[in-house]
Structure 1
Amino acid sequence: MTANKHIRLVKWYSIVLLTLGMHSGAFASSSIDAQCPSEDFEAFVEVFASQPEIQTAFTDSPVQEIRVVFDGDKPKVVKRKLKTLDPAELSVLIPEKAAELNLTIKVELPDKVIVRDGVGGFLKIFAFKHTNCWVLSSVEDWSLENVLEGVARTESFTPGERELKKGVWFDRLANHASPESGVYLYASALDSYLAGAQNGSPRAALSAAGISLSGQAPRLDNTKILDLLMMASKSIPDAGLTLADFYCDEGEYDDEHACINPQLSMTALEDAARKGSNIALTRLGEVYETGTLQPADLPRAMACYQEAKKNGLESRGVARLADQGVFANNSIQCLKAGSF
């Protein structure tokens, strides 16, 4: 084979590779294997974050992108493959830039970098894969501020409601994410709820306590959870039920033990009932029937069940106690006279 013919074959083969989309991505990165910044992921990320030429060489093509967009009145998850990635997407990996935007950067071994703020406004997940070196394979942008701006054009938010809505969306979007990414969406939901509570939303306070106690989001200190539940129960009657439970178990559902603080639990139930919670009335009936928080008092239990029934909540307690010979006595009330 002559030299000219060999050159023509090489050029033709290169054209074929380009046509098939094989002359980028893995090929591009493999061509500089000797220049791999580091096999250690944390050290690699440090170099990758600050050097555009390294970013270009060690970003997959196509790179997977997941982004949340505004769709009518709710967020929509869009997945697409990009031949190239806008360098601006990677600017938040630079520590100085992240600090300017009040963002934190967390290198999550073995292969992810998480960039987020502390109020549920910003969340990006950069995922890498390893072949001959580390290569950025996907970028997940779960930030919701643009979506909320779209909703704000048609809706007005009361104090804390914007953060509450954002928390609810993060909570739901976790179902569309991988289990690994979902952890951070739940954490952002908690951050959003806490921000909403700080801005005066009792529902955000209740949601923050609930998602923390559920185990989906990071566990808050018991003192913080108690503060949130007390705030919520002031204006949400049924929140008093969660508060009553927390006084008893402090969120340790798996441990079977006597109520830790029965008097405070009882007070929370009574307060919830006074504020209009029919479920609290039923729970009080159960307490008086079983004697779990204080000595059993069947006539008072019947009064609680009857009060709940009068308010439209069906209860088997009335029939159950009637079978035991306990009947309604108008001189006995579930709560003190004048409570309702």
Structure 2
Amino acid sequence: MNRFVFTLLASLLLPVSAVYAQDDCSHVTSSLEMVPCSEAAKKAADTQLNVSYKQLMTRLESDYRADPALGAEYAAKVKESQRAWLKLRDANCPLEAFEIETGMPAHVFAVNSCIARMSRERSAYLDKIAPGQPEQSSDKSVACPSDDFMPFLAAFSADGQSQRRFTALTVKSLALKPTAEAGRFEPIVTGVKGAELGYPLMAPIPSRKILGVKIQELDDSHSIVVDKRAGWSHVKVFNFSRQACWVLEGVEDWSISNKDLIVASKPKLSKEENFCYQRAEAFEALGAPEDQPLTVELFEATLENLLCAARSGNPLASYKAAILSLSGMAPQVPTDTLESLFKAAATTLPNGAMGLSEFYCDGNELTFDGPCKDPALAEQALMGAVKMGNAVAISKLGSTFASGEWGTKDPSRAMACYQLSLAQGYENANLGLEHLKKNSTTEIKPSYCF
């Protein structure tokens, strides 16, 4: 896609470091991937370590309610041990990279990999302290289904009784809650009793090939199940660790409840569309920094809700949905849907009209190098933005007259457009104007732009 479309996408295009999240980098074959992969692996391991530490503290608080003083003493010992271990890790890892020049990619990779490895090992160690095993009985049916995660998951997910049996006494529960800033949400983690969860927690997962389910086996003792079967806006994540047997230790609910939304935040939208638009903004705000493990899912949820908000033709929701679809951060919508979105956006938004113009040139393609597919429609759409007085669109129109790329080469009209765009404050139009003068063998007199 050319520079013009990249300008339209600037607000949504983000780094792609999330593809490396929770990866041990064993797949990396290019030196260019070493550092970002190791950084992401370190971050994922640190996140898991923090989860294991917080869960241990939650277990101690729950298990020692009858003797809070003893529980507090136990927790203090854990804190002291953790501080000492962190100093040891941060002192040890530079030793593994000592013979590599500091600052070189190989040095950064070696230190990051060491930190990630030691953090995963520490996480597994913390999980074994005061494990809070689920209740067992003499009934052989309660025995651990398998040491291998996938057979265990198939048995665990079969019914609510099995799920209850292999859920920890205390579970880390994550839910999205509104912040003091209107329209913004943040993930809040609390500890809840496993017995208080609403079973069944998930539908059966008999194999890996279940549409909408992603299974990540992080290491021998930690696995994650991402369940999107209820839709992109209702993703749930289940965290398992292996102790004497695999056990569910964390449940994450990444949905946003209607009760946390404002009934009428935007005029001319139905109640449902209002809720969808608010969800879209909230999910986008969560996904944009890419500091959440579910970055991809958050952008999927953003698109799902923007499409909902655009059902009756809201220009802004339509424009945002079209741009996100073309950004590569979310699934692409069908071509006819994309055209409808841009047409709705073009009714009142200059950027929407310019997006429609680009659509007629490039189609529903993320990268397009060829000539404009439909110059007549592209010019007609661009004129919509021009007539709204958009200086960028006026400069773009000038460039088409200067190059003749849409069939009409007219240096006089090009100059008139560039000058008009400049007069309206778009300074980059001066670049086109100077290029036009430089490549002309005769003096150009401006005629009219449109």
User: CA, structure 1 residues 243+306, in 2 after alignment: closer, same or farther (shift >3 Å)?
Assistant: same
The aligned runs of 1:136-215 (5 Å cut-off) are 136-146=248-258, 148-149=260-261, 151-152=262-263, 155=265, 157-159=267-269, 160-175=273-288, 180-215=293-328
1:309 aligns with one of 422, 433, 441: 422
- For residue 235 of structure 2, the aligned residue among 107, 123, 140 is 123
Separation in 2, partners of 1:42, 1:230: 50
Q: In structure 2, which of residues 402, 405, 412 is the aligned counterpart of residue 299 of structure 1?
A: 412
Q: Is the 8 A contact 2:416 2:449 kept in 1?
A: yes
State the alpha-carbon separation in 2 of the partners of residues 83 and 197 from structure 1: 38
Q: Flag the structure with more relative contact order, 1 or 2, with Cα contacts below 8 A and sequence separation at least 6.
A: 2
TM superposition shift of 1:244: 1.5
CA pair 240-117 structure 1, distance change in 2 beyond 3 A: farther
1:231-285 deviation per Cα after TM superposition (whole angstroms, max 9, x unaligned): 1111212211111212222243434222222222122112221233221111111
Question: Which residue in 1 is equivalent to 2:184?
Answer: 75
Read off the aligned partner of 1:266 and give its amino acid letter: E
Aligned pair count?
A: 304
What is the percent sequence identity of the aligned residues? 26
Q: Cα deviations across residues 201-237 of structure 1 (Å, max 9, x unaligned)? A: 1111111111111111111111211111111111212
SS at match of 2:349: coil
Unpaired runs of at least 5, structure 2: 1-66, 76-128, 205-209, 217-223
Output the TM-score relative to the length of structure 1.
Answer: 0.75
1:112 counterpart SS class? strand
Partner SS, residue 316 of structure 2: helix
Match of 1:51 among 155, 160, 164: 160
Q: CA deviation at 1:167?
A: 0.8
Please show how residues 154-303 of structure 1 align to structure 2 within 5 Å.
155=265, 157-159=267-269, 160-175=273-288, 180-303=293-416
Greater Cα shift, 65-74 or 222-231 = 65-74
Distance 1:132 1:184, change over 3 A: farther
Q: Aligned-pair distance for 1:87? A: 4.2
Q: In 2, Cα distance between the equivalents of 1:51 and 1:285?
A: 66
Unaligned runs of 5+ in 1: 1-14, 96-103, 336-340
C-alpha change, 1:274 and 1:181, in structure 2 (3 Å) is: same
Aligned pairs for 1:107-118 within 5 A? 107-110=213-216, 111-115=224-228, 117-118=230-231
The structure with the largest alpha-carbon Rg is 1
- Which residue of the partner structure matches residue 172 of structure 2? 64
C-alpha change, 1:156 and 1:277, in structure 2 (3 Å) is closer
